[in-house]
Structure formats: structure tokens, C-alpha cells
Structure 1
Amino acid sequence: MRAIQAYSKSSSFLVSFVFTFLLSIGVAFNTYVLTVANDDLLIRETEAAILADIGGFRSLYNSAGQDAVIYALEERLGDRNNDFLYYLKSGDGEFVSGNLQHWPASDVEKIRNGLLEIEVSVRQSHLTDSKNSKQTALAMIMAFSNQDNLLIARSVQEYEFAVWLAQASSWVMIIIVCIISILSIGVAYYVVSRINKISDTADEIISSGKLSERLYVESEWDDLSKLTLSLNHMLDKLEQSVNGIRSLSDNIAHDLRTPLTRLKTHLEDLQEQDVKHHLIAECDNILAIFNSLLRITYIENNAQRSGFKLGDVSIVLEDAIDLYHPILEDKRIELVSNIDAEVFAFCDRSLIFQVFANLIDNASKFTPQGGRITVELSKHKTLVNFIISDTGIGVDDTALAKLTRRFYREDKSRSSSGNGLGLSLVSAVVSLHLGEMHFAKSHIADSGLYCKITIPCE
């Protein structure tokens, strides 16, 4: 359904619509020229030719009389290039000369200004009555002073066939336009549908971080399939690069953790207590960094939901608040909570606890004494919403998008405690739960940080 909605807004639809519209205008104009315009042109041309012929016979009659008219008719009837039809009758209705069988007695339709449309029987030869054919003709009647009448006509039989052929061609073109329109719409819809599939799959790969997934290749003959193959090749290279970076990080963490553990063991044997405690604390901090790196890598690379089960998230949040309550009391930081009861979600309880603990810990570090932290947890339809705001020092707008980067710290001097991996871990856990995380300026003070996490209930 999404593809249909997107189709009407796509460039493919616009191109197919414009193409069909212009083609329809061309067919309509062509039909008009071949039928209506040509019909009027033929009538005008035939009328002018008959009038010219009448003028010639009238002049001939006035100057030389009836015999000259009959002689001229006989000459024209003998001319194979002559396409006029004649019937000269006397005042008493007798046939005098011409190549028509009969004087038209019926099926006479007046067109305009004395021009008639008639059905005539044409002689094959004016000397015989054998073999005749009926034709449609345009005619005019000329009366002489001696009561003789001359009917001059011109056959439109060939024109009628041409008109029929033109009309048939017009219908064929209309059918072709309809077929082209349907094919254009079909091809455009196919292209938009394919692009939507590619876009949806790419969005899913980007949002989930599963670089091992690939775009489905339907065929190999069209350009979109070639594009899909190129994108899959790009994903192969990207996956190799990312895996190489992650592997390097893991190897460094693994290789350094062992000698650091040994160093810590040797430091514990030192006699000078002050130096020993300081060095051991530094080793613990380094080990914590490596453990956090390994934990983040494990969550990102092993996106398994085996530890997921339906649980009450509100209880997990209350446990995290209880854990940090003494620390907040020592700093005289007020914590205001608004937690809905029985907020159930399909989640990993231990990972969600780490999310809440990291965010509360982060807020407590950067909120000065006498400050305030607000925590909200609610359920809206199929989503669980967690919001935490503080009155701390906050961050610049340009730094909001960088907060989840590994080792990123807003404190450039790095004088405050922490290693810049807490929010990276939170982001990895939220992504594992198919959720979203959003940072903004605090809503409860001029400074401070606002964080909202949304995860699906199922």
C-alpha cells in the first residue's frame, strides 16, 4: 500500500502522465485533421471545382449554344483523366448526354449554396448501359435558358474510403495510446515498487546495523537489478571494513586486559598503600573501559534476543533509582519521578537496568548540588516511553548528535570522571530493543539535558 501512495508523488508517475497526455493530444489533433478538417476541405474544393466547371459551360452555351455544350461533354467523357460526372437532360426530361445512368430522383441532401449530396449510378461507358455502380457524389444543377438542365457531380467514393481508413487508423492509434498508457503506468509502478523495496531494505539495514543483510535481487536484466548488485557489493565492502575495525578494537581490548590484570595483581603486593590504591584504581578504570568496549561490541555483533522476556519495566527503573538514591542525597540533588505502574515490555531486564543506571549516573555527574533530575516512565499504545531531564550544565546543540559516539566527551579537558562509553552502551541496547533515543535541551531549566527513549512493548 505504501508503494501505491508513493507512486502518485513519484517522478515516474509525472513522466508517464505527461507522456500520455501529450500523446493523447497528438492523437486527438490527428483525428480532427483526418476527419473533420479534411471533410470540410474536400467540400470546399469540390464546390469550387464544380462552380468553375459550371462557369465554363455557361460561357460556352452563351457563346456557341447547346451543340457546343454537348460536344464539350462528349470530349470530357472520352478523357480518362476526367473525374466529373454529367447528366444533361432536355426540358421535357429526356437524356441528352452524360455518364450518369439516371437523374437522381431520391436520396438528395442539400449541403449548402445549391451543393447536393446524391447517390448516382455511373455508366462504364456513355455508349452502353451495361455494368454500372452506385457512388456517392457532390453535385450542382445548372439550368439553361432553353429549359435544359445540366447536372455536374464529382464522386467522393475514394474520399469516403480514405475517411474510413483515417477513422480506423484513429481508433487504432487510440487503442495504441491506451495500451501505451497502461504499459507506462505499469512500468512506472514496477519501478517505484522496486525502489521502495530497495529503500525499505536499506533503511532496515541502517537502523538495525545488520550489515550482513543484503538487498534482494529479483533479476539481472534491468538497471535496478544492476543498482541492487552494486549496493550489495558496497555493503560487502562496508561490512568488511566495519568488522575489521571491530575486530581490531576487540583484539586490543582482549590483548591488553590480560597484562593489565597481571599488573593489578603485582600492584596489590606493593607495600606503600597510598601509591598502591591509586595505581589499582587507575588499572580498574582501564579495565572498565575495555570491559565496556567488549560489552558494546558483543551487543552490536551478537544481536540475539535470547534474554528477552515480558517484564515490568517500572520495577527495573525503581531499582535503578534506589541504587543511585544515596549518591543523589549526598549531592543534595532532588529526583522527581513520575512512573506508571505495570509498564510491561518484551525486553532484556539486565540490559534495560544498565540503560536506566547509565542515564541516571550521567545526569548525577553533570548536575550541580541543589539541582534537580526528573524521571518519567509511561506506556502509550504499543510503546514504552522513558524520559530523563536534569538541570545540569547541558551540551551545545551541535554536540547532541555526537553524544552516543564512543569515547566522545563534552568535557574537552576530560577532568570529570567517566570514559565516554556510557551513552554508547545505552545506544547499543536501545538499538537491540528496536527503539529510538532522542536528545534535546532540558525542558525543566534553561540549561541541562533532555533524553527520551522509546521502545516497542513487543
Structure 2
Amino acid sequence: MNELSSSPPIGVGRRWHTTTFRWLSGYAAIFAASMTLLVGVIAWAATNAMEHDTDDIMAWQLIYFDSIPDVELAGAIHSRLEHERMHTNFYGLFTADGRHIAGDVVHLPPRLTFDRDGRTLRHTLKLVDGQRSPIVRAMCERRTNGTILLVARDLTHILKMREAVIRALVIGGLLVLVAGIAGGLVLSVRQLRRVREIRRVTQRIARGDLNQRLPIGGRDELDMLSHLVNHMLEEVERLMSEVKGACDGIAHDLRTPLAHVHTLLGRIAERTAQSGDDGVATLLTRARSETDTLLERFRAMLRISEIGALQRRGGFGRVDLRLLIEELGELYEPLAESRNMSWTLLAEPVDEIHGDRALLFEAFSNLLDNAIKFSPEGGAVGMTLRATPCGPAVEVYDDGPGIPANERDAVLQRFYRSEQGRYVPGSGLGLSIVSAVMRVHDFTLHIEDANRHKVNVTHAGPGTKITVECWPRALA
């Protein structure tokens, strides 16, 4: 694979997009709606109960006043008001046309019925002192002599109690909501830490390190999934080890007989040369050439297996890329000049990297060898080392036929050869070795057309530019 698209790490910026936080937000919304509905139901129920109890009290007061003769009613109202200490009751006695007779309510409020149905009045009763009453519950009746008796009861204390209960419910609900959100965030942070660790391990597994296992730290769904994935990885690693062992064994076992065949063909060629049979000599030369190709492929296959088996990176150390690139330039510049090619080497000062110098030298040698091999006579080949904000990047480019976009992943696999390069001798394993080295170092390799951005090119081919980003992909 020539590119690895790495998703950004799960951190604070992405915490709000997690399933845990979405569930928490949904729970908070449902809880808030439920609390609002609960407070509304409690307020409605408390109001109805309060009004019902108050209406009962006022109905009993009217029954009491009904037992008093009409001529004594005004005095009874006056006496009741004198003994009223809390002043929770208000009374008013009016003529049939609404004139005040007795009581502390001096004006008959409008829209009151005389069927003993209670009505809530908000600061509408006018009192003898010129003030208005607080919120009251009022009820009135028309007596047999035509007078109108109004009874009202103060609701201030009851409303304060209701407001206190509702306020306590609201504050308690908010505290519970805040505590729930805080607890959910703490749990989400813990889950995110586990997910971040799982993501780190799965990235290493995706890069070919099948020895990694998902962390197990609980008894929830993630833990159950980790157990299943770890079991699957064990089976995959076992099967791949068996297949790899079989392939390596075949390659190793066949290399020795092929070497013997190559030696025998050489001896036969020497004897045939003495007999002077040119036809047989030609056939033997072709047979030896094919045998050399097979031996080269088996050596490359075993080399790829050796590179892929490097798990502990024991040969890693500080590598001066600029010095390594300059050594490669000295080695391959004469080869490019022998084919009349334009050779370019640019190496900027860069920081040292952590890697295996021998493996990197082998990988870049394969890239330069391919660039020179696939470029035409008089073409252009170059190598550039440049510094980027993330680290050093190495570019190798040529004027060859290029690699189509749909084949850029396939050319990194074993034995695959692009249609444009089938006419050039080779085993198709050079880029496979490069890819194996990049995987060991956790570097990224990109393939693109070299002449796409150039105005003046020496040949019509698109060319190939291979860029190696020499920093771990986890930091990309």
C-alpha cells in the first residue's frame, strides 16, 4: 500500500463526537424534559389540591353565614374581622345593586358567579384602606333577601410553599443533572482512554505487527470485543506463520538444487564449447540465464522474509540521512552517466532519524536502481533530500514510462510488474523489498508522476517520483 490515511487522534477536540457523549447528551435531554414535565405535573396537582381545599373552607364559611339572620350578618362579619389575626380571610357584604354594606372588601369584583364556584383573583379586590388584596381565592353567593356575600381567602402562604417545593425540585434536578453529566464525562474519558489504546494497537496490527494484542481492562462490551479480536489475531498469526514458514521452506529448499543445476549447466557449457556445437551452447546459455533469474527471485523472497521478521529493531540507531544520500549518489552517478543520463542530487541538512542504516541503504539503492533501469537513454534521474515540518523526506524520480495510478499499490507486492516495465529484465521484487523496509521503519511511501508539474521534460513519459516520508506514520 503506497499511502496510509491516518485518522486524527481521539482527543479533547473529538471527545464530543463519541458515542458515550452522544448517549450522555441524549440522557441529559430526556432527563431535563422529564424534570420539566414532573415539575409541571407537581405544580398542577399542588394548585388543584390547594384550590380544592380552599374552596371547601370557603364553602363551610358560607354555610356558617347562612345560619346567621340577615339583620345580624353585618355585625357577624365585623366581629369576624376583629378577631382575624393572620388576616387570611376577606369578607364583603353588598346590596343587590353592588353597594357596600359591611366587610373589608369595598367593591364587588366583576365576572363572579353566585353558584359557590371558587375563582382565583390576583390583586383585584379593593379593601377599605385603599389597597388591593394579595392573590386570593374568592367565592360569593346571593342570599334570600337579595344581598350578595363575598368570601375570599389569602393564598400567599400556600403559594410560597408550592414555590418552595418547586424550587427545591428544580435545584435538586439541576444538581442531579450536573452530577450525571460530570459522572458521564468521567466515564467517557476512561472509555476514550481505552479506545485510544485500542486504536494505537490496531494501527500497529494494520501495519503488519500481528504480535500485538488489544488491551483488556474491564468486563464490558469493549472487553468482550477485545477478547474476540485477540482470539482472531492468534488464529490469523498462526495461519500466516504456517504459510510463511512453508513458503520460506520451499524457497530455501529449492535454492540449493537450483544452484546445483546452475553449476552443472556451467560444466556442460564448458564441454560443449570444446565440441563446437553452437546451438547447444546457446541453449545452455539461456538455461543458465533463466536459472540465475530463479536464484535471484528466491534470494529476494528470502530477503523480504528476513526484513519482515525484524520485530525488535535491534539494528536501529541514529542515522545521518544526508551522509547516506551522498554515499548513494557517489555509487549511482557513474551508472547514470554511463547511460548518458542527467543526474541530479540535492541533499538539504536534516535532523538525524532513528532507523537501520543498512536496510535504508538497501531500500534507497533499489529505488535508484529501478529509476536508472526504467529510464531511457539520455533521460533524467535524480534524488532529493529535503526537510519538512514533520521530518526529512527523500524523493527519487526518473523520466521512465511511469506507473499508472491503478497499479501503484500492486507494484509493491511480490512479483508484480507494471505493463510499462515488462520489457525490462527483473524479478519484480525490488519495490517489495523497499515496502518491507518502510513497514519495519513505519515510514510512508508515495508514488506519483514525476513530470506532472514540470514544464520542460526530456521525454514524453510521465516518469515516476517516489517519496519516502522518514517519520513514523503515527506522527503524521
Asked if Structure 1 and Structure 2 have the same fold, meaning a TM-score greater than 0.5 normalized by the shorter chain, the answer is yes
The structure-2 alpha-carbon separation of the partners of 1:141 and 1:338, relative to structure 1 and needing over 3 Å to count, comes to: same
**Mean alpha-carbon deviation: is it higher for 271-280 or for 312-321?**
271-280
Report matched runs for 1:412-427 at 5 Å.
414-427=422-435
Distance 1:146 1:12 in 2: 72
Residue 34 of structure 1 and its aligned partner are, at CA, apart by: 2.6
Q: How does 1:364-379 map to 2 (within 5 A)?
A: 364-379=372-387
- Higher mean C-alpha deviation, range 381-390 or range 342-351: 342-351
Q: Is the 8 A contact 1:54 1:152 kept in 2?
A: no
1:448 maps to 2:463: yes
> Where does 1:3-402 land on structure 2 (aligned, <5 Å)?
3-35=11-43, 37=44, 66-67=68-69, 90=75, 93-94=78-79, 102-104=83-85, 106=87, 111-114=122-125, 153=153, 168-207=168-207, 209-219=208-218, 221-270=219-268, 271-273=271-273, 274-275=281-282, 276-341=284-349, 344-380=352-388, 383-402=391-410
Per-residue deviation, 1:105? 6.7
SS in 2 for 1:385: strand
Taking the aligned partners of 2:313 and 2:167, their CA distance within structure 1 comes to 70
Q: Are the counterparts in 2 of residues 372 and 391 from structure 1 also a CA contact under 8 Å? A: yes
Structure 1 equivalent of residue 112 of structure 2:
none
Q: Give the drift of 1:168.
A: 4.4
SS at match of 2:408: helix
1:343–1:378 contact (8 Å) kept in structure 2: no
- Check 1:327–1:151 CA distance in 2 against 1; reply closer, same or farther (3 A cut): closer
Equivalent-residue separation in structure 2 for 1:46 and 1:381 (angstroms):
78
- State the Cα distance separating 1:232 from its structure 2 match: 0.7
- Kindly state the Cα deviation for residue 337 of structure 1 after the two structures are TM-superposed: 1.6
Structure 1 stretch displaced more, 160-169 or 233-242: 160-169
Give the Cα separation in 1 of the matches to 2:421 and 2:360: 31
Alpha-carbon distance in 2 for matches of 1:6, 1:342: 33
Count of residue pairs brought into register by the alignment = 410
Query: Per residue, is there more strand in 1 or in 2?
Result: 1
Q: Is contact 1:114-1:140 (8 Å) kept?
A: no
Question: Deviation per CA, 1:392-427, whole angstroms, max 9, x where unpaired?
Answer: 101211001112101110138944211111001011
Q: Gaps (5+ residues) in structure 1?
A: 71-87, 117-135
State the 1:236 CA deviation: 1.0
Measure the CA separation in 2 of the matches of 1:224 and 1:354.
42
Kept in 1: contact 2:317–2:356 (CA 8 A): yes
Supply the distance in 2 between the matched residues of 1:113 and 1:49 (Cα, whole angstroms): 22
Provide the C-alpha distance between the structure 2 equivalents of 1:11 and 1:368, rounded to a whole number of angstroms.
Answer: 56
What is the CA distance between 1:69 and its match in structure 2?
Answer: 9.8
Write the distance in 1 (CA, Å) between the matches of 2:445 and 2:265: 41
Match of residue 76 from structure 1:
none
CA distance in 2, matches of 1:421, 1:225: 41
Tell me the distance in 2 between the aligned counterparts of 1:231 and 1:430. Answer: 26
Gap change, CA 1:54 and 1:358, over 3 Å in 2: same
Q: Tell me the SS of whatever aligns to 2:392.
A: strand
Aligned to 2:278: none
Native 8 Å contact 1:300 1:432 kept in 2: yes
Partner of 1:80 in structure 2? none
Check whether the contact 1:57–1:69 (CA below 8 A) recurs between aligned residues: no
Distance 1:112 1:157 in 2: 15
Q: TM-score if structure 2 supplies the norm length?
A: 0.73
**1:224 Cα deviation after fit:** 0.7
Deviations 1:61-100 (A, max 9, x none): 9xxxx53799xxxxxxxxxxxxxxxxx66179446xxxx9
Q: Give the Cα separation in 2 of the matches to 1:365 and 1:323.
A: 15
Do the aligned partners of residues 380 and 163 (structure 1) sit closer, same or farther apart at CA in structure 2, a change above 3 Å counting?
closer
Structure ranking higher on relative contact order (CA contacts 8 Å, 6+ apart) = 2
Q: Secondary structure at the match of 2:470?
A: strand
Unaligned runs of 5+ residues in structure 2 are: 1-8, 91-120, 128-134, 274-280
Q: Secondary structure at the match of 1:335?
A: strand
| Alpha-carbon distance in structure 1 between the residues aligned to 2:148 and 2:210 | 101
Contact in 2 for aligned 1:115/1:138 (Cα 8 Å): no
What letter corresponds to residue 114 of structure 1 in structure 2?
L
- Offset at residue 160 of structure 1 (A): 7.3
Q: Distance in 2 between matches of 1:342 and 1:181?
A: 48
Shift of residue 359, structure 1, vs aligned partner: 0.7
Offset, 1:197: 2.0
Q: Counterparts of 1:343 and 1:333 in 2: how far apart (Å)?
A: 30
Identity %: 23
Q: Secondary structure of 2:354's partner? A: strand
Task: Indicate if the aligned counterparts of 1:394 and 1:441 stay in contact, CA closer than 8 A.
Answer: yes
CA distance in 1, matches of 2:420, 2:387: 37
Task: Tell whether the 8 Å contact from 1:336 to 1:375 is kept in structure 2 after alignment.
Answer: yes
- 1:374 Cα offset (Å): 2.2
Please name the residue that 2:413 is paired with: 405
Amino acid at match of 2:469: T
CA distance in 2, matches of 1:314, 1:272: 52
Q: CA RMSD in A?
A: 4.1
Conservation of the 8 A alpha-carbon contact between 1:339 and 1:378: yes
